[in-house]
A and B are shown apart, each in its own frame.
Chain A
Amino acid sequence: MSVTRLTPQREFDIVLIVNGAARRLTVDARTTLLDALRDRLHLAGTKKGCDLGHCGACTVLVQGRRINACLTLAVAHQGEPITTIEGLADGADGLHALQAAFIEHDGFQCGYCTPGQIVSAVGLIAEGRAGSDDEIREHMSGNLCRCGAYPNILAAIRQAAREAA
């Protein structure tokens, strides 16, 4: 059997497409996507809560789908479009509809989970899973809020989902 050989490396020069811009950087193989975004590209809006996939604070969109940036290696996402909280704002007043709805409904207390909640909710609405309160609750279960702002988070997402429909 003749097969191409693999040559694993410890360091990589990569290009990440973040919020529409190509960003060139050198990463260790171990660098998570979350650390690349926060520590290397200085996009600190994406938060680190647990670093284990349990809290959702690090939620970003990769190719339009919500994922936990802490559970994946940066080197594995070369060339894939990545959207962080910093890349959402599109409205006339500079806010995404979900950001405006979170402010209107006071969908936070300390705000630490908020970027993850908002990016996750963008994914939720795109998946068509914001049809009822129960559906929103179930499909936002990957985003924890230690302040317990859940009722207001739910109200904000419900409103944004209606506006998007």
Chain B
Amino acid sequence: MVPFAYAAAPSADAAIAHVARRRGAEFIAGGTDMLQLLQEGVRVPAELVDINRLPLDGIEVDTDAVRIGATARMSDVADHPRIRAEYPAVAEALLLSASPQVRNMASIGGNLLQRTRCVYFRDVVTPCNKRAPGSGCSALDGENRLHAILGASPHCIATYAGDLAVALVVLDANVVINGPEGARTLPVEALHRVPGDAPEVETVLEPGDLITAVLIPASAHARRSHYLKVRDRASFEFALVSAAVALDIDAAVIRQARVAVGGVGTKPWRLPAVEHALVGHRVDDELFHAAAARAADGAEPRRHNAFKVELLKRTVERALRTVGSRS
């Protein structure tokens, strides 16, 4: 690790002002992604501002929404009885993430902002446009089994690896951001960027922007939501493909549908064509099969990840069937 200086933030305002003003200053929350990247020399901050002691870890559930503080831990959110009952996709996505130790440490805000697992991004001796802009993308013709089939560019094909953000997208969640210019909210769906010709810019956040909370509105489709994760190992592994599904079903007819997928896109990837194929129709396995057939529309597989195209359709179909059969 290169030397850096550290300070615990006495207040959110002080932390924001400091990080906005100082080049090379970054926030640190649970540290579980930051420490990996520091150990590997991928990130070389000059200063780390610790936000863990700020009063941002509350989980407040009321009848029309839940507000999850940015420093709430993944394990505490996953275990919250009302989140499990009213926002099951959130609890499921978290419980299927990482390990119990990591979940006890990692925060919700840090989780959304975790960096890609692309091996070239995390290996400083190889070219990577995300880590070293302009150096090239080693994955294009390299080991790209785990890489994206949706949303890639000729400059970067790294996937967004997180699980939670995929679930939040189908629940119409917002992030609350407090920045040097004040507070604002932003749909989780608008937080991450596709790589385009600037893969090093992964989100729309500006220096000093602090995520303070995630807000999820209560809804019929949130109650009937589900997260399915398919991976190489039974546990403690990132997704090859994952699907978050939320359906509002009334008298066996689908009123509203939200479908998003992980492990396949350069950001959490919403599937409007699948949603459109579902809305207004009666719940039935053939409908789910036909809708899921649209899941890989526009996919551009590479040499080693073409298997994800079929796996994606099947994962979406299975997630839809699971939700469709829940009463």
* Chain A interface (Cβ < 8 Å from any Cβ of B): 1, 3-10, 12, 28-30, 32, 51-53, 56, 59, 65-68, 70-73, 75-76, 120, 123-124, 127, 129, 137-143
Q: Which B42-71 residues sit within 8 Å CB-CB of chain A?
A: 47-50, 52
CA distance A93 to B99 in the complex (A): 32
Q: Which of B1, B14, B30, B49 contacts A30 (CB 8 A)?
A: B1
28 inter-chain pairs at a CB distance below 8 angstroms, sorted by A residue, are A1-B13, A1-B17, A5-B18, A6-B7, A6-B49, A7-B7, A8-B5, A8-B25, A9-B6, A29-B5, A30-B4, A32-B35, A52-B40, A53-B98, A53-B102, A56-B99, A65-B104, A66-B100, A67-B101, A67-B105, A71-B35, A73-B28, A73-B31, A76-B50, A123-B104, A141-B234, A141-B236, A142-B99
Q: Report if A72-B7 is in contact (Cβ < 8 Å); known contacts: A6-B14, A52-B39, A142-B236.
A: no
Chain B residues with CB below 8 A from A28, complex form: 3
A143 to nearest B CB, angstroms?
8
Please tell me if the beta carbons of A8 and B101 are within 8 angstroms of each other in the complex: no
Chain B residues with CB below 8 A from A138, complex form: 235
Flag whether B135 is at the interface (Cβ < 8 A).
no
Q: Which of B11, B36, B75 contacts A71 (CB 8 A)?
A: B36
Please tell me if the beta carbons of B5 and A10 are within 8 angstroms of each other in the complex: yes
CA distance A37 to B47 in the complex (A): 23
B84 to nearest A CB, angstroms?
14
CA distance A15 to B308 in the complex (A): 50
Q: Which of B28, B99, B104 contacts A141 (CB 8 A)?
A: B99
B326 to nearest A CB, angstroms?
22
* Chain B interface (Cβ < 8 Å from any Cβ of A): 1, 3-11, 13-15, 17-18, 25, 28, 30-32, 35-36, 38-40, 47-50, 52, 75, 98-102, 104-105, 234-236
Chain B residue with Cβ nearest A123:
B100
Chain A residues with CB below 8 A from B15, complex form: 6
CA distance A143 to B5 in the complex (A): 31
Chain A residues with CB below 8 A from B101, complex form: 53, 56, 59, 66-68, 120, 123, 142
CA distance A7 to B104 in the complex (A): 28
Please tell me if the beta carbons of A124 and B100 are within 8 angstroms of each other in the complex: yes
CA distance A114 to B102 in the complex (A): 19
Chain B residues with CB below 8 A from A7, complex form: 7
Q: Which of B3, B5, B28, B102 contacts A68 (CB 8 A)?
A: B102
Please tell me if the beta carbons of B11 and A3 are within 8 angstroms of each other in the complex: yes
Chain A residues with CB below 8 A from B105, complex form: 67-68, 71-72
B36 to nearest A CB, angstroms?
5
CA distance A1 to B15 in the complex (A): 13
Chain A residue with Cβ nearest B103:
A142
Please tell me if the beta carbons of A53 and B36 are within 8 angstroms of each other in the complex: yes
CA distance A12 to B6 in the complex (A): 9
CA distance A29 to B7 in the complex (A): 9
A70 to nearest B CB, angstroms?
7
Chain A residues with CB below 8 A from B47, complex form: 8
Chain A residue with Cβ nearest B18:
A6
Chain A residue with Cβ nearest B122:
A52
CA distance A3 to B13 in the complex (A): 6
| Most A C-beta atoms less than 10 A away, residue of B3, B6, B31, B52 | B6
A48 to nearest B CB, angstroms?
11
